[in-house]
Amino acid sequence: MSYIHKKQCRICKGTELTQVLSLGDHPPVDNFLSNIQIKDENRYPLNLYFCAGCSLVQLLDVVDEEELFHGEYAYFSSASKPLVDHFHSYAEDLKNDNMQEGDLIVDIGSNDGVLLQFFTGTHRVLGVEPSSNVADLAREKGIDTVDGFFTTKMAEDIVAKHGKAKVVTANNVFAHIDNIDEIVRAVKILLADDGVFVTESHYLLDLVSKREFDTVYHEHLCYYSVKPLMHFFQRFDMEIADVRRVSTHGGSIRVYARFATSEPIPESVQELLVLEEKEGLHILSGFSSFQTDVDTIREKLVGLVRGFRAEGKLVTAYGAPAKGNTLLNFCGFTPDDILYITDTTPYKIGLLTPGSHIPVVSPDILQSETPDYILLLAWNYRDFIIEKEKALRERGAKFIIPIPTVEII
């Protein structure tokens, strides 16, 4: 077992931290297993806390990052076509608004090069990625990638070799790092004076309002809203220059940060601050029904799936995303409930889901077999998948949608 329980807020260092959601003990969600690895599985507490000092919602139980990210990592950004499309348009935004040809862009947590691939040929690119199996895929695409975690030392080395970066990005990773102070110190070393640090992270407003509890897992340490982020960047003489809501992962925010200026707080930032306040995200009482709402989703899902199984129906699941494992383990599902899960990621096929031990198989099986009910774990791609699986539905399969409200379509 390797985890610590923190007693201080990551952003303001406050100690008035109150639990707002408890999901029980879970194994790390990306640790897909072979049959022989089942016996070595560790489980760690998965609880969300609210900080009275700066309103940051966060995990305080921190699993050793070597156990979460190092070596083989199961998450390949390019496995989902809508996500690739998203990064394509994100790249176009950066090129149009923030960069000129030849500028250097560095992506922290560059995964398989899903963002940087759109800059090769026109810009200088560098990825930083601690998981060597996904970094290798980026290198195959011609993307220079440094192995390892991003630190001040690494930033100095990059500047010495490549010069300063016009854009530094950290997507779906800025919320995954325990020591975010170190990341920003390193970003400040790497960033050109007129450069911009751009992050995308799941947005707390979407998480709470749509009860996306399954997006809570050990890799995700912070659940950002704009208020604590403003506080955070101020501490480092930086500021938020712009913020945009984007649809990825059930609702995210793209935050553009730069060195502090004397300009007033941008309208986009003010608008989200007002909205967050209205939705109760800045006070503890705003989270008072969160646990009950999430427990209700569990009750409904368990009732449906076990009810169908009692009738002898074939129930499977679609997509084995990280968040699917939070949902499966929170519901206590086993292979008796869900016979198998189809997923397009070659790495996951042939393995078992962590905790629930459900086999992941190739989607090809759905050409010849028609499950009665398919639990859509990759619910964030609902429209895309429902359209893609038209024929399957015409053959009689029904999808169980778990989030934001349980429904069958």
Binding site for ligand TYD (CB under 6 A): 75, 79-80, 82-83, 249, 319-323, 343-345, 378, 380-381, 384-385, 388
Distance of CA 16 to the CA centre of its chain: 26
State which residue, 68 or 104, has the beta carbon closest to ligand TYD. Answer: 68
What Cα–Cα distance (Å) separates residue 74 from each residue in 79, 163, 382? Answer: 11, 32, 22
Residue 77: CB minimum distance to ligand TYD, A: 7
SS3 content of the chain, % helix, strand, coil (to 5): 40, 25, 40
Residue 236: CB minimum distance to ligand TYD, A: 28
State which residue, 80 or 199, has the beta carbon closest to ligand TYD. Answer: 80
Q: Token pair for residue 17?
A: 């931290």
Whether the link from the prior residue into 404 is cis, omega within 30° of 0, is: yes
Residue 59: CB minimum distance to ligand TYD, A: 16
Q: Token pair for residue 38?
A: 């089942």
State which residue, 148 or 363, has the beta carbon closest to ligand TYD. Answer: 363
251: exposed, middle or buried (C-beta count within 10 Å: 0-12, 13-18, 19+)?
A: buried
State which residue, 60 or 175, has the beta carbon closest to ligand TYD. Answer: 175
Residue 385: CB minimum distance to ligand TYD, A: 5
Residue 359: CB minimum distance to ligand TYD, A: 14
State which residue, 60 or 378, has the beta carbon closest to ligand TYD. Answer: 378
State which residue, 329 or 380, has the beta carbon closest to ligand TYD. Answer: 380
State which residue, 55 or 110, has the beta carbon closest to ligand TYD. Answer: 110
Residue 349: CB minimum distance to ligand TYD, A: 10
State which residue, 272 or 378, has the beta carbon closest to ligand TYD. Answer: 378
Exposure letters 273-301 (e unless 16+ CB within 10 A, then b): beebeeeebbeeebbeebbeebeebbebb
State which residue, 117 or 345, has the beta carbon closest to ligand TYD. Answer: 345
Exposure letters 61-84 (e unless 16+ CB within 10 A, then b): bbbbbebbbeeebbbbbbbbeebb
Q: Which residues contact 242 (CB under 8 A, 6 or more apart)?
A: 255, 256, 266, 268, 269
- 245's enclosing H/E stretch is strand 238-246
Residue 358: CB minimum distance to ligand TYD, A: 14
Residue 79: CB minimum distance to ligand TYD, A: 4
CB atoms under 10 Å from CB of 404, counted, come to 16
Residue 271: CB minimum distance to ligand TYD, A: 27
State which residue, 138 or 154, has the beta carbon closest to ligand TYD. Answer: 138
Q: Are 198 and 256 in contact (CB under 8 A)?
A: yes
Residue 222: CB minimum distance to ligand TYD, A: 15
Q: How many CA atoms lie within 13 A of 92 on its CB side?
A: 5
Q: Token pair for residue 336?
A: 């008796």
Q: Which neighbouring-strand residues pair with 196?
A: 167
What is the 3-class SS of 129-169, one letter each residue?
Answer: ECCHHHHHHHHHCCCCEEECCCCHHHHHHHHHHHCCEEEEE
Residue 403: CB minimum distance to ligand TYD, A: 11
State which residue, 183 or 385, has the beta carbon closest to ligand TYD. Answer: 385
Q: What is the DSSP string of 57-95?
A: EEE-EEE-HHHHHSS-----GGGSHHHHHHHHHHHHHHH
